[in-house]
Amino acid sequence: MAEGARLIDTPCWTDLAGADLPWLRLHRLQAFERLSAEGLPARGDEAWKYTLLGDLGERRFRVASRAEDEGSEAGSSRPYRPQGHRILFRDGRWIIQGSTLLPLPAGARLVSLREAIAQQDPLLPEMLGRIATLEGQPFAALNAARFDDGLLLYLPEGCVLEQPIYCRFETDPTEADRVSFPRLLVVMESGSRAQLLEEHLGANGSALTDLLVEISLGEGAQLFHGRLFDSELGDRRISGIHVQQARASLYHSFALMLGGELCRNDLQVQLNGEEASALLEGLYLLDGRQHLDNHLRVDHRLPGGRSDQFYKGILRGHARAVFNGLAVVHPDAQHSDARQINRNLLLSTGAEVDTKPELQIEADDVKCSHGATVGYLDQEQLFYLRSRGVEKQSAQALLTLAFARESLQRLPRGEFTDAYDQIVTDALAGRIVSRPEPSPDTRKVSDE
């Protein structure tokens, strides 16, 4: 059995899928060189100053072998039976026995990345690693250097996937210091449509998942990308999502984040075509000492693009959330519409939010707005409900749910919509119990 190694140690190149493919070797080597040169984020690193990496750099992690993953029965107690393509990843590996694929339209490909590499899918040298920015993204570089499996989704022109694709990411709870590097590549040609739903589960406190997702949307293509970090999740997940969009395409991301000891998401969207839209939405419910970092960046490069960052969070205990949203409107991107909202509801005095919505505008005819709030429950609303006879605790629960619902209402309709709603309702019902009442003042950072 292989010994554990530090994240920045040289990988065993020959163990990785497609080790003999020159283009892939080059891709990995370049990524590794960047990682070696830049290193893992250090304390002084602005973009990582809140993220609690702890001893991550020094820890000796182990990658599970294929045989271990396929043989393991370990997994989540949560049933996994949604309608759609179901893919199970354990420790970053596509597990055939746990996955169910439905028939695909002609020309569409949905395969494990390992399989695609083995078959030398011509799309890979053309697209893999071409979308993600590795600069200033050490964990993206780490994934690029060390990934071994994942998913390839390719949809030809006009192809509509009626059924969503569910990807469940589990970590083996029985093994300490597991690390995995799943890699997803989604290439959608013009006019195609799909729904991709990640589900992150696992109670392994010492595991680390470093996910890298690359998405390319052709003209008018539409992707809904749901990301659920289940409340059961107890480990660390770092994700880089890199999206490039052609004209009039739509990327709609919705992250529902409940679990994870440490969860960090770097979402980077390039609006490279005119009138492309990116809806980047998130809802987080945190408790205990959970730490969540969301870093968003949208680049408006051509006219008429629209981006809407809408993140809301409910925090209690000593949980901490960071929102860092940036929209850059480049000189050619006239008539862009860029919005950023981050609203936070604190249910305890020990919770903390650091929020920084940021606009960089280099064009003169644009519509941009941003706002962030951090506060407690609205005392006027609370009084109104109580004056109608609603008991205090129920009124608090109702208002907290209403706060969350404003986000949930933005979801497209689907089986997952009700599931998300239920998860939030359950989570809030379990969390709104008698706790000391927070002080009624509301801190307002800025709005609009």
- What residues make contact with other proteins under the rule CB under 8 A? 379-381, 383-392, 394-395, 398-399, 401-406, 409, 440
3-state class of 423 per DSSP?
helix
**Between 153 and 404, whose beta carbon lies closer to other proteins?**
404
Report in angstroms how near the CB of residue 281 gets to other proteins at its nearest: 15
Tokens describing residue 118: 């083995």
**Between 220 and 282, whose beta carbon lies closer to other proteins?**
282
**Between 8 and 398, whose beta carbon lies closer to other proteins?**
398
**Between 205 and 440, whose beta carbon lies closer to other proteins?**
440
- Tell me whether strands 165-170 and 250-257 are parallel, antiparallel or unpaired: unpaired
Please tell me the distance from the alpha carbon of residue 87 to that of residue 199, in angstroms, as a whole number: 10
For 38, list phi and psi in degrees, rounded to 5: -90, -30
Judge contact between 8 and 104, C-beta under 8 A. no
Residue holding tokens 């949307």? 217
Burial class of 215 by CB neighbour count within 10 A (0 to 12, 13 to 18, 19+): buried
Tokens describing residue 142: 């780490």
Residue 190's contacts (CB-CB under 8 Å, 6 or more residues apart) are 157, 158, 218, 219, 220, 221, 246
Q: Where are the strands (E) in 109-149, listed by range?
A: 109-112
Judge contact between 421 and 408, C-beta under 8 A. yes
**Between 192 and 396, whose beta carbon lies closer to other proteins?**
396
Angle between helices 392-408 and 379-387 (to 10 degrees): 120
Report in angstroms how near the CB of residue 441 gets to other proteins at its nearest: 13
Report in angstroms how near the CB of residue 283 gets to other proteins at its nearest: 12
Report in angstroms how near the CB of residue 398 gets to other proteins at its nearest: 6
**Between 56 and 395, whose beta carbon lies closer to other proteins?**
395
Please tell me the distance from the alpha carbon of residue 324 to that of residue 146, in angstroms, as a whole number: 27
Distance of CA 74 to the CA centre of its chain: 24
Give the containing element (helix H, strand E) for 76.
none
Please tell me the distance from the alpha carbon of residue 147 to that of residue 144, in angstroms, as a whole number: 6
Report in angstroms how near the CB of residue 242 gets to other proteins at its nearest: 33
Judge contact between 53 and 43, C-beta under 8 A. no
Report in angstroms how near the CB of residue 102 gets to other proteins at its nearest: 35
Report in angstroms how near the CB of residue 407 gets to other proteins at its nearest: 9
Report in angstroms how near the CB of residue 399 gets to other proteins at its nearest: 7
Report in angstroms how near the CB of residue 381 gets to other proteins at its nearest: 5
**Between 243 and 315, whose beta carbon lies closer to other proteins?**
315
Three-point CA angle 415, 420, 426, nearest 5°: 130
**Between 85 and 343, whose beta carbon lies closer to other proteins?**
343
**Between 324 and 407, whose beta carbon lies closer to other proteins?**
407
Judge contact between 188 and 156, C-beta under 8 A. no
